Amino acid sequence: MAISNPILIADRWQASTGDATFQAYNPNTGEALPDLFPISTWQDCERILDAAASAFEQLRLLDPLSIAKFFELYADSLEQHREELAALAHLETALPLQPRLRDVELPRTYQQLRQAAKAVREGSWRLPTIDTQLNIRSEYASLGPVVTIGPNNFPFAFNGAAGGDFAAAIAAGNPVIIKAHPSHPATTQRLTQLALAASQTAELPEGTIQLIYRLPKADGLKLVSDHRVAATGFTGGRESGIALKQACDVAGKLIYLEMSSINPVVMLPGEIRDRATELTAEFCTSCLMGAGQFCTNPGLVLVIDAPESRAFIGAIAEHLKQAPAGPLLSASGLKSLASSVASLITNGANCLTGGKIATEYPGFRFENTLLSISGNQFLQAPRTYQTEMFGAASLMVIAENLDELVTVLKSLEGNLTGTIYASKTGSDDDAFSAVAGALRTRVGRLIQNKMPTGVAVSPAMNHGGPYPSTGHPGFTAVGIPAAIRRFAALHCYDQVDDKRLPTSLRNKNPNDLMWRSIDGIWTQQDVKATST
Amino acid sequence: MAISNPILIADRWQASTGDATFQAYNPNTGEALPDLFPISTWQDCERILDAAASAFEQLRLLDPLSIAKFFELYADSLEQHREELAALAHLETALPLQPRLRDVELPRTYQQLRQAAKAVREGSWRLPTIDTQLNIRSEYASLGPVVTIGPNNFPFAFNGAAGGDFAAAIAAGNPVIIKAHPSHPATTQRLTQLALAASQTAELPEGTIQLIYRLPKADGLKLVSDHRVAATGFTGGRESGIALKQACDVAGKLIYLEMSSINPVVMLPGEIRDRATELTAEFCTSCLMGAGQFCTNPGLVLVIDAPESRAFIGAIAEHLKQAPAGPLLSASGLKSLASSVASLITNGANCLTGGKIATEYPGFRFENTLLSISGNQFLQAPRTYQTEMFGAASLMVIAENLDELVTVLKSLEGNLTGTIYASKTGSDDDAFSAVAGALRTRVGRLIQNKMPTGVAVSPAMNHGGPYPSTGHPGFTAVGIPAAIRRFAALHCYDQVDDKRLPTSLRNKNPNDLMWRSIDGIWTQQDVKATST
């Protein structure tokens, strides 16, 4: 019998205490890959949790410059191993090797780590706030061990071992317990090997980075709610997210969720008249990207009924029909997509193209799918018609008029993004206001004349939104420094002597770069000598 | 039969649809006050929720200056009605008329409203963040209707109709549904009358401020989890807080809780040697203030065993014994305190003074109580010995040495505050580090040589802490502007035209006062003309 791959506990790669194993699949062929990975037991978790708790006690007192150094080393290492990593992830996910994995997602990932390094060096993410009159000072500081659970669709950028939650959790000064996504365990293992090497060179405490691959569901819930864990970052499907949330809620533990989103896109009449051809291309590119497996995939498109709108929808359907069906990430993803599409059709949506498993191809593929429904019918059962189709599948809602379109928008749950395409001529201006008014409170990011796929790593980004797209509308999963503060506690010091304060709150600005709010004024200066 | 007082729905005072009523009590005498107040039905809630949803749609588009104006008018009105309000609150709570209610708590309350006005005028609370290169912009913005549920112990400063949650929720642009504390309904009614008058003068939307007094428990849970509500601010006991949290969690609704806290105070040996007399006075003043009914009351005091420590404890016990028992806020508070104290004694704590209901006085009174226990015994059942005694009652933990004291601290749940008294001579310096290290991750506010009672309204304040003192360690219930952001959503704009942005995110700084982070630099300047 082949030996299963080791897990990482307290900086040592070692066999899991569990006997059960699993394999990943090549989505292009549908065949199992040879490597065996362990399904961990609670005994593995116990040891990991103890090591994480011990790492935290050291990490929170460590000079942040060591953490910055770690990020820089790890980013360089990812860049050096670019070919190898891209090939590995391609094998496990069937996402395009180039440009996607090699030239877009991996560079984005190491650039994000470099941003994290810069944020840690500067320290402004802490929002240090000083009241010199009362001598009260506060800042965000490390929280405790964080479990990072990444999704299947971004093997690098959202990987628990390299992505946004990983970067944010460690930047805040917390150890991470990585729960690999079982569809790309070898990629996650390799990332973790490189991360561990960087961690050891930067002399981060033992146990700062630990890895398990899979757990029985009950143990997963036990892990995120364990007293030694402070928070969890989860990106994935709604069902798993809600189950984890419930476990955390009962235990009083934090969890940041990025769950389902259908990302409504409104195409206003003037814009369809002006730019139907370009719009068709933009929409189809966005819809088909990564076989539609993006959390910001345009799953719901709204138009007002008109001959131009009908022609536009027809052109999209034709375009999607001509495009080859891309490989989905897993057999379960295929099953889930087929089930969502079937449910919408059964409930009355018209199937304009696609709608079935693409049996003519190997691997996990579903035909590119376009469904349509009238605004009136959508309003009969808005919950039903908001079913997420995770893949290259969208539902077009054809509203009778602007009022009906706005009413449909008001029936939507929380989403990550909301997009409005409006004519540059001004002919859509009134409609824009009405649509934006309805979308604004229902989405995290409001986008004008651009597809929602593509989430820039910007300090101004919000990759978040109202429930159930996430668990809290005040936090973003992407964007440094804001994403870091998710994994931080607010620490206040009242009358504490300067020498006993963290360096970030002392009178002297520790690096002359850190922005601090002193008596209501944001500054990089020291606290004035006349103050306490 | 006397007619019950009206509730406030959509700016109209009207009879509740419920028949049931309740009365408040004078805690000084234990007798019921004559006024009848209604116990509302779900029918009342339905109308209030519809009105709140409608108010939100208008409020979120309103010029914030109207909200600032409202706060200023309301603050002035509270100041003008100071005598009347203090007398009313004194009748219902028996808290000292002066200085407490008239000269401290009410001024603090209207000054906090004035701070909210200033924050709304300036707008920096939104943390506007602009990336000019990518033209992505984000800020915190209003969230939706907020239910404010205040505690019994601060009829002004934490009242759902005037306190921190009220100020924060409205400052962020949200309507409030006030659920009065049933121990001071007349005070809350009068505050709401004054708030309504200010709201109408400032032309805030109808339904911005609404009031009910009491609800059956099931309807309370239904209210906070209703789809028309966005968030709840709750200050009160742990049992109620947890029940509300569960209801909100399941519905994906936000709730900010400020629950129990025993506020550990460590008195280091050098400080006891240097200042035993002053320390005794400081501790007893803090412990007895408001009959000990403070969320930051010093409920757990830790010392290292020594003759000086024993003498110090003896002096405190004597002092508490001599002081009269203050009136508690309610019969249920008295019952709960008696039960907590009895439980600790049954479980082995020594009663040094007090420990019984003060039957020689009228009203709701409990003897000032000091219990003690060894560090070793505490560690046998740390959960049990952390039982909160809400009143003038503290548990002294006598540790054998510093190590044991630190171990006791590490067994504590999350608390709002942690205090260390250390000698100015330097003799406690090493011990300070060890104690601070253990306390830091377990409390929101770390205090040096000052009692925890007294929570300044400062931008640097953190009146929050790890679970179960609150529900999230990243938020503070006191301190403007941070407290405002609890009731806000992060709104991002991606490629949106300048004219379509909220004024706070346009190139032009709307008031030249607002601090915005533009490309990583905090500034009050406009976005440079060369940028997008």
* Residues B314-352 pLDDT 10s: 999 999 999 999 999 999 999 999 999 999 999 999 999
B417: closest chain A residue by CA:
A492
Using the beta-carbon criterion (under 8 Å), do B492 and A130 form an inter-chain contact? Answer: no
A458: closest chain B residue by CA:
B131
Q: How far off is chain A from B129, nearest CA to CA, in Å?
A: 5
B477: closest chain A residue by CA:
A490
A287 catalytic residue (yes or no): no
A446, A459, A472 member nearest B254 (Cβ)? A472
Distances (CA, A) of A410 to A376, A399, A405, A437: 13, 13, 9, 10
Residue for token pair 């989403």: A415
Question: Which amino acid does the sequence have at A406?
Answer: V
State whether residue A420 is helix, strand or coil. strand
Bridge partners of residue A264, in order along the sequence = A300
Tokens describing residue A118: 């810069």
Cβ B225 vs Cβ B248: under 8 Å: yes
HSE-CB of B18 using CA atoms within 13 angstroms: 24
Using the beta-carbon criterion (under 8 Å), do A461 and B136 form an inter-chain contact? Answer: yes
Contacts of A531 in chain B (CB under 8 A): none
Omega prior to B382 cis, within 30 of 0:
no
Tokens describing residue B313: 């404890």
Confirm or reject contact between A502 and chain B (CB < 8 A): no
CA distance A369 to A394: 6
Using the beta-carbon criterion (under 8 Å), do B490 and A475 form an inter-chain contact? Answer: yes
CA distance A151 to B517: 31
Q: How far off is chain A from B250, nearest CA to CA, in Å?
A: 7
**What confidence category does residue B260 fall into, taking pLDDT thresholds of 50, 70 and 90?**
confident
Question: Which amino acid does the sequence have at B292?
Answer: G
Q: Which of B489, B76, B426 is nearest to B273 (CA)?
A: B426
Q: Tell me what the pLDDT averaged over chain B comes to.
A: 96
Using the beta-carbon criterion (under 8 Å), do A494 and B450 form an inter-chain contact? Answer: yes
Cβ B395 vs Cβ B347: under 8 Å: no
| Inter-helix orientation angle A64-80/A185-201, to 10° | 130
CA distance B532 to B134: 9
Contacts of B473 in chain A (CB under 8 A): 143, 254, 489-490
pLDDT at B107 over 90: yes
A470: closest chain B residue by CA:
B252
Cβ B266 vs Cβ B419: under 8 Å: yes
Q: Which of A484, A447, A477, A448 is nearest to A462 (CA)?
A: A477
Q: How far apart are the first and last CA of chain A?
A: 69
Q: How far off is chain B from A361, nearest CA to CA, in Å?
A: 38
Confirm or reject contact between A485 and chain B (CB < 8 A): yes
Q: Is the ipTM beyond the 0.95 threshold? A: yes
Using the beta-carbon criterion (under 8 Å), do B129 and A459 form an inter-chain contact? Answer: yes
Exactly one of A72, A258, A271, A388 is catalytic; which is it? A258
State whether residue B107 is helix, strand or coil. helix
Using the beta-carbon criterion (under 8 Å), do A482 and B475 form an inter-chain contact? Answer: no
CA distance A436 to B212: 34
Confirm or reject contact between B497 and chain A (CB < 8 A): yes
Pairing of β A488-494 and β A136-142: antiparallel
Question: Which amino acid does the sequence have at A184?
Answer: H
Q: Which of A194, A254, A243 is nearest to A217 (CA)?
A: A243
CA distance A311 to A265: 17
pLDDT for residue B530: 55
CA angle A260, A262, A268 (to 5 degrees): 160
Q: State mean pLDDT over B451-459.
A: 94
Mutate which: A138, A423, A429, A450, vs B, most B CBs within 10 A: A138
Q: What is the DSSP string of A283-347?
A: HHHHHHGGGG--TT---EEEEE-SHHHHHHHHHHHHHHHHSPPPBPS-HHHHHHHHHHHHHHHHT
- The 8-class DSSP code of residue B161 comes to T
Using the beta-carbon criterion (under 8 Å), do B134 and A450 form an inter-chain contact? Answer: no
Using the beta-carbon criterion (under 8 Å), do A136 and B482 form an inter-chain contact? Answer: no
Cβ A124 vs Cβ A514: under 8 Å: yes
HSE-CB of B516 using CA atoms within 13 angstroms: 31
Using the beta-carbon criterion (under 8 Å), do B461 and A492 form an inter-chain contact? Answer: yes
Confirm or reject contact between A481 and chain B (CB < 8 A): no
Q: Please report the residues numbered 208 through 247 in chain A whose beta carbons come closer than 8 angstroms to any beta carbon of chain B.
A: 245-246
Confirm or reject contact between A432 and chain B (CB < 8 A): yes
CA distance A238 to A401: 32
Using a 10 angstrom Cβ sphere, with 0-12 exposed, 13-18 middle and 19 or more buried, the burial of residue A34 is exposed
Omega prior to A151 cis, within 30 of 0:
no
Bridge partners of residue B232, in order along the sequence = B147, B255
Element (H, E) at B524: none
Cβ B333 vs Cβ B390: under 8 Å: yes
Q: How far off is chain B from A415, nearest CA to CA, in Å?
A: 12
Using the beta-carbon criterion (under 8 Å), do B490 and A464 form an inter-chain contact? Answer: yes
Using a 10 angstrom Cβ sphere, with 0-12 exposed, 13-18 middle and 19 or more buried, the burial of residue B84 is exposed
Contacts of B493 in chain A (CB under 8 A): 445-446, 448
Confirm or reject contact between B423 and chain A (CB < 8 A): no
Contacts of A463 (CB under 8 A, 6+ apart): A164, A258, A296, A416, A444, A445, A455, A476, A477, A478, A479
A131, A444, A494 member nearest B445 (Cβ)? A494
Tokens describing residue A514: 């850190």
Cβ A478 vs Cβ A455: under 8 Å: yes
CA distance B321 to B298: 17
CA distance B51 to B132: 39
Confirm or reject contact between A489 and chain B (CB < 8 A): yes
pLDDT in tens, B36-82: 999 999 999 999 999 999 999 999 999 999 999 999 999 999 999 99
Exactly one of B206, B295, B367, B388 is catalytic; which is it? B295
Distances (CA, A) of A401 to A17, A19, A265, B176, B488: 62, 60, 16, 34, 32
Tokens describing residue B394: 């503290």
CA angle B68, B74, B80 (to 5 degrees): 140
pLDDT at B30 over 70: yes
Mutate which: B413, B492, B513, B518, vs A, most A CBs within 10 A: B492
Q: Which of B180, B152, B183, B185 is nearest to B166 (CA)?
A: B180
Cβ A416 vs Cβ A296: under 8 Å: yes
- The 8-class DSSP code of residue B205 comes to P
Summary count for chain B: helices (H), strands (E): 15, 23
Size of interface A-B (CB pairs under 8 A): 180
**What confidence category does residue B360 fall into, taking pLDDT thresholds of 50, 70 and 90?**
confident
Predicted TM-score (pTM) of this structure: 0.97
Q: Please report the residues numbered 306 through 335 in chain B whose beta carbons come closer than 8 angstroms to any beta carbon of chain A.
A: none
CA distance A84 to A92: 13
Cβ A391 vs Cβ A294: under 8 Å: no
Rg (CA), chain B: 24
Element (H, E) at A358: none
CA distance B493 to B129: 10
Q: How far off is chain A from B352, nearest CA to CA, in Å?
A: 31
A351 catalytic residue (yes or no): no
Tokens describing residue A463: 């990759």
pLDDT at B2 over 70: no
HSE-CB of A132 using CA atoms within 13 angstroms: 16
Distances (CA, A) of A345 to A263, A339, B230: 20, 10, 33
Pairing of β A443-448 and β B488-494: parallel
Summary count for chain A: helices (H), strands (E): 15, 23
State whether residue B469 is helix, strand or coil. coil
Tokens describing residue B2: 């006397």
Contacts of A441 in chain B (CB under 8 A): 60, 144, 489
pLDDT for residue B532: 45
Element (H, E) at A528: none
Bridge partners of residue B112, in order along the sequence = none
A255: closest chain B residue by CA:
B472
Pairing of β B300-304 and β B25-26: unpaired
Confirm or reject contact between A402 and chain B (CB < 8 A): no
Pairing of β A12-14 and β A7-9: antiparallel
A468: closest chain B residue by CA:
B252
Residue for token pair 């990089």: A524
Tokens describing residue B440: 């830091």
Exactly one of B72, B92, B139, B258 is catalytic; which is it? B258
Tokens describing residue B154: 């601060």
Using the beta-carbon criterion (under 8 Å), do B464 and A246 form an inter-chain contact? Answer: no
Cβ A424 vs Cβ B43: under 8 Å: no
Write out chain A's pLDDT in tens, 532 residues: 568 999 999 999 999 999 999 999 999 999 999 999 999 999 999 999 999 999 999 999 999 999 999 999 999 999 999 999 999 999 999 999 999 999 999 999 999 999 999 999 999 999 999 999 999 999 999 999 999 999 999 999 999 999 999 999 999 999 999 999 999 999 999 999 999 999 999 999 999 999 999 999 999 999 999 999 999 999 999 999 999 999 999 999 999 999 989 999 999 999 999 999 999 999 999 999 999 999 999 999 999 999 999 999 999 999 999 999 999 999 999 999 999 999 999 999 999 999 999 988 889 999 999 999 999 999 999 999 999 999 999 999 999 999 999 999 999 999 999 999 999 999 999 999 999 999 999 999 999 999 999 899 999 999 999 999 999 999 999 999 999 999 999 999 999 999 999 999 999 999 999 999 999 999 999 998 654 4
